[in-house]
Structure 1
């Protein structure tokens, strides 16, 4: 998996893959290779989003504990 791609890059490439697959006219081998690349990109996007979700949840939890006088 290409870990160097940021979320936006992976998302944009995934959109290109989908467009090419939807256009058709590719050989079976090319279609399968694009499908596999799309699966890889989708997983990478999911991981980026999960990481962002975790950061937001941690920030919210920290903000709540700072505002709660019983945790001081």
Structure 2
């Protein structure tokens, strides 16, 4: 992978889930239109794969947080345990 492609994919790490999902939807729209040159289609498809992986990672982290919530006897949240570091 070229250095500029690595830098392009590195910026994904800073995106929120919503930002990454919006970018992924734009890529899907661009590819579905079919008017993107082949070499550009390949590059944006690769970026789409990186965005998809980032969204999956953020969703997994959110699921982990929800699972860590402990309920007290009266059904109210008693606290949240921090996520285990990866």
Q: Please name the residue that 1:70 is paired with.
A: none
* Structure 2 residue runs without a partner (length 5+): 1-9, 74-86
Larger relative contact order (Cα-Cα within 8 Å, sequence gap ≥ 6): 1
Number of residue equivalences: 64
- Match among 28, 47, 57 for residue 38 of structure 2: 28
Larger strand share, 1 or 2: 2
Q: Please name the residue that 1:57 is paired with.
A: 67
Q: Please name the residue that 2:53 is paired with.
A: 43
Higher Rg of the two aligned structures: 1
Larger helix share, 1 or 2: 1
Q: Please name the residue that 2:25 is paired with.
A: 15
TM-score, normalised via structure 2 length: 0.70
Shift of 1:26: 1.5
TM-score, normalised via structure 1 length: 0.82
Divergent runs of 4+, >2 A: none
* Structure 1 residue runs without a partner (length 5+): 68-72
